[in-house]
Chains A and B, each alone.
Chain A
């Protein structure tokens, strides 16, 4: 196995594109190393992207925020303006693992690991985040909901990797939230995750919304019907019911010892509603 740590995006792309055999991007390694140790993957080349400036920076861009794909959860937590603008994204990233894992785990790794239960992904999708990909044919933008196609299957082309994410500008009176359900109180894989982003007008009526659900289908879902169910409402009881029903209707979950299909579907409705209430509360108070 060869290990390379290029210092530029082009350098990383050149290595990935030229590789024959299994080449893997390495960010924090909290998924990849576990898989390597279990012999699930045996890469011939590892391209560590942490020395590339663009993957490690959090910067303002056209009123939004650009977050490098290799920025860690612990670093996001320390970034006060980002936390203020996108509390749901940051709280989702901070749910990943222990303090030891937080210091390494990244948004890019969480997405590209390709798990339908990845915690930060519903939050990024609800936020309307767009991934910037770099590859042998240049760079392109892809909404996060289009990056993952199924378990361990991504829309990335050969030689491509995620450089960063762009979170759009925040209108006034808008906010997001993420909630997950796990059987234990911490350090567990989400049985359901729900991310909601909401904007309200001066009268408290919802003008825009995005709802995303994790761990209830082969990929993380953007549920347009759930957003439609609350746009134009003040999130009264009837709107909450419509939201929960739309969230449940979108689920196609697995059935396993950690949660039956019926249970996951039910919890998806509950979490979507609760996350919406939190996002609403935050949106109204700013």
Chain B
């Protein structure tokens, strides 16, 4: 039996110890925002925050997260109001097919929590574990820059 707080909501779950955190979120809790791209820690599509720090949930066990707080892309918006990072990705065209976007958005939020006004180099370094096959990355960087500006306002 593990206790998880996911997006502010407490859960008690009986999970087998080999269950990944990603599968637990998607299949036990129905939070399908986090995606599985590679399944081996490389692509970043499954990025979530564990106690505020970003991790690849496909290579974390659900039992790791016992007693801890998980934030997924579903937990970023407040009611109907999108998180500034989500709004910026929409406004600046930070996605095309969208499969990588939940991971990009969560990673970008973690970045702005750690470095509120990152340089372009800092953005690229922080985000290098979030692969995208569509955008060529420019629009993602621009979206994050826009979100940093918005957070400032």
Contact = CB atoms under 8 A, between A and B. Distances in A.
Interface of A: 1-3, 5, 29-30, 33-34, 36-38, 46, 48, 74, 97-101, 103-104, 186-187
Given A46-B17, A101-B41, A187 B59 contact: no
Contacts of B126: 99
Given A1-B17, A30-B59, A37-B39, A100 B64 contact: no
Contact of B40 (A2, A37, A104): A37
B11 interface: no
B61 interface: yes
Nearest to B59: A33
Contact of A187 (B18, B60, B128): B128
Interface stretch (B26-34, B50-58, B74-82, B143-151): B50-58
A36 B18 contact: yes
B54 A97 contact: no
B41 A99 contact: no
Interface in B52-96: 53-56, 58-61, 63-64
A175 B27 CA distance: 50
B54 A33 contact: no
Contacts of A48: 64
A29 B17 contact: no
A30 B128 contact: no
A55 to B, nearest CB: 15
Interface of B is mostly: mixed
A34 B41 contact: yes
Interface string B15-55: 01110100000000000000000011110100100000111
Contacts of B55: 100, 103-104
Q: Which of A3, A29, A33, A104 has the most CB of B within 10 A?
A: A33
Contacts of B20: 33, 37
Contacts, number: 69
Interface of B: 16-18, 20, 39-42, 44, 47, 53-56, 58-61, 63-64, 107, 110, 125-130
Contacts of B53: 74, 103
Contacts of A1: 16-18
B4 to A, nearest CB: 15
Given A34-B41, A37-B40, A37-B58, 20 more contacts: A2-B17, A3-B61, A3-B63, A5-B63, A29-B60, A33-B41, A33-B58, A33-B60, A34-B40, A37-B20, A46-B17, A46-B61, A97-B41, A99-B54, A99-B128, A100-B56, A103-B53, A103-B54, A104-B60, A187-B128
Given A33-B59, A97-B129, A98-B128, A187 B17 contact: no
A166 to B, nearest CB: 27
B60 A3 contact: no
A38 B40 contact: yes
Contacts of A100: 41, 44, 47, 54-56, 107, 129
17 contacts: A1-B16, A1-B18, A3-B17, A29-B59, A33-B41, A33-B61, A37-B39, A37-B58, A46-B61, A74-B53, A97-B129, A98-B44, A99-B125, A100-B44, A101-B129, A103-B55, A187-B128
Contact of B129 (A37, A38, A98): A98
B107 A29 contact: no
A15 to B, nearest CB: 14
The 6 A-B residue pairs whose C-beta atoms are closest, nearest first, are: A98-B129, A3-B17, A33-B59, A100-B56, A34-B40, A100-B129
A187 B126 CA distance: 12
Given A2-B17, A38-B40, A99 B59 contact: no
Contacts of B107: 99-100
